[in-house]
Amino acid sequence: MSKKEKQVDAGLRQFIKDLGYVAGGAALLGTVPWLQSFTPDKLDEIKKEKARIGLIGVGSRGQYHIHNLLEMPHAKIVALCDNYEPNLKAALELCPDAKTYTDYKKLIEAKDIDGVIVATPLNWHAVITLDSLSAGKHVFCEKAMALTMEECKAVYEAYKQSDRVLYFCMQRMFDEKYIKGIRMIRSGLLGDVVGARCHWFRNNDWRRPVPSPNLEKHINWRLYRESSCGLMTELACHQLEVCNWATALTPKSVVGIGDIVHWKDGREVYDSVSLAYHYGNGVKITYESLIANKFNGMEEQILGSKGTLNLATGMYYLEDEAEGNSAIEQLLAQIGDKVFSAVPAAGASWRPETKKVYKAHPVIKGKFNVNDGMSMIGAEKDGSDEMLSSFCQACITGEKGRDIVEEAYSATTLCLLGDRAMREQRCVEYPEEFKIPFMKF
């Protein structure tokens, strides 16, 4: 094992151990049940074994996974597949000993492969996942789960009937600040959850260079309806999963508006979306995303009666915490700034209903990574490497990660329903035929 591999392995072990101190092992597993199959003891059991991995789709995201896999002592890349020759060539330079394929069906027939990673355009996720499960392979697929509700249900049902492991890369489920943040919510730190506000803003046309016009939809698949739902399946999928995780619920309906506001270049998917998801208890998610202004970046706020947690930045804020200024100093300053047109009558204990300054508290002590949401490939230490490591371990042990598929199913179907609500310009209720036992409305 190289020095770098040892460092990565030690880091993953420490990640798991640290999480155990959040509120005790049982409480942690109640919040993050998928970690029960990803423990230091189980890593020790497989330390001399390697999962033999084949990658289907080795473009930018596939190569991102390759770099992570090369640092994992319990993984070995044995096969690469892509129908775009430049991608395959670039990946082979990273893994010169791997076999290469241009047809994924040939790859999944190979006996020397334990698990596959699917990093293709969205419209291929369901069919490749279904074929791979049928061929006896464990599967790690990029989000979103599938392009249609029917495909999502087919994948879910196939998984339930299979003894194979299936992961979808909802990497926030393995991000330490998210895990600890959700545990804080469940412990009551924020009081009652009364709302959620999420947004993801970029300023990028999402286009990639195309060497030939006939490759436009092959390379820029995110921009076309036959292969993508744009912002919903590419970005909202992650953030809606976080809201469901935080509330332990699934919204029962959604309304929204979508438009092509700025990038009028022939694309078919919206470059601006605004939606409201409605939970059965009255809590709402307000969701907004656009890719022609990046000022507001990315945030995932869970709003509680006692505080607010921004999971994206790893910071929380308490409602009744002193700001450092006396009440009269706040009042005078706000009057000076013409916040009020008249001085309200109040005693010495006066404090504004809407505070100007909240004290930020980090979810995690010490240094931690924050993803600004700008990368189209993957951010450093966003949970992807831990999730991929867990999958490779599962390829060896055969142990399924609890609730991983169900979380991905719920988030993906909500994205697809949101897209339908925008296209049909109406309120869309969650259809009965697509509800699964995991969901609570």
Looking at the structure, do residues 266 and 337 belong to the same domain, yes or no? yes
Write out pLDDT tens, residues 76-122: 999 999 999 999 999 999 999 999 999 999 999 999 999 999 999 99
Q: Is pLDDT larger for residue 21 or for residue 226?
A: 226
72 phi, psi to nearest 5 deg:
-105, 120
Closest CA to 311 of 183, 151, 202, 145: 183
- Angle among Cα 236, 241, 246 to the nearest 5 degrees reads 130
How far is residue 386's CA from residue 38's CA, in Å, rounded to a whole number? Answer: 9
CATH of the domain at 194: 3.30.360.10
Closest CA to 170 of 440, 416, 388, 316: 388
Query: Contact, 221 vs 269, CB < 8 A?
Result: no
441 in a structural domain: no
Looking at the structure, do residues 307 and 326 belong to the same domain, yes or no? yes
How far is residue 58's CA from residue 391's CA, in Å, rounded to a whole number? Answer: 18
Looking at the structure, do residues 397 and 413 belong to the same domain, yes or no? no
Instruction: List the 99-101 sheet strands across, edge first.
Output: 99-101, 75-81, 51-56, 115-118, 138-141, 166-168
Q: What is the mean pLDDT of residues 252-257?
A: 98
How many percent of the chain have pLDDT more than 90?
Answer: 75
Looking at the structure, do residues 203 and 266 belong to the same domain, yes or no? yes
List, in sequence order, every residue forming a beta bridge with 298; answer none if it has no partner: 200
- Sign of the alpha-carbon dihedral angle for 102, 105, 107, 109: negative
Domain that holds residue 332: 188-374+408-434
148 phi, psi to nearest 5 deg:
-135, 160
How far is residue 299's CA from residue 408's CA, in Å, rounded to a whole number? Answer: 20
Number of structural domains the chain divides into: 2
134 phi, psi to nearest 5 deg:
-65, -30
Q: What's the farthest any 2 CA atoms get from each other in the chain?
A: 79
How far is residue 223's CA from residue 269's CA, in Å, rounded to a whole number? Answer: 6
111 in a structural domain: yes
Looking at the structure, do residues 149 and 76 belong to the same domain, yes or no? yes
Query: Contact, 301 vs 292, CB < 8 A?
Result: no
Looking at the structure, do residues 346 and 393 belong to the same domain, yes or no? no
Closest CA to 135 of 115, 117, 150: 115
261 in a structural domain: yes
Write out pLDDT tens, residues 142-198: 999 999 999 999 999 999 999 999 999 999 999 999 999 999 999 999 999 999 999
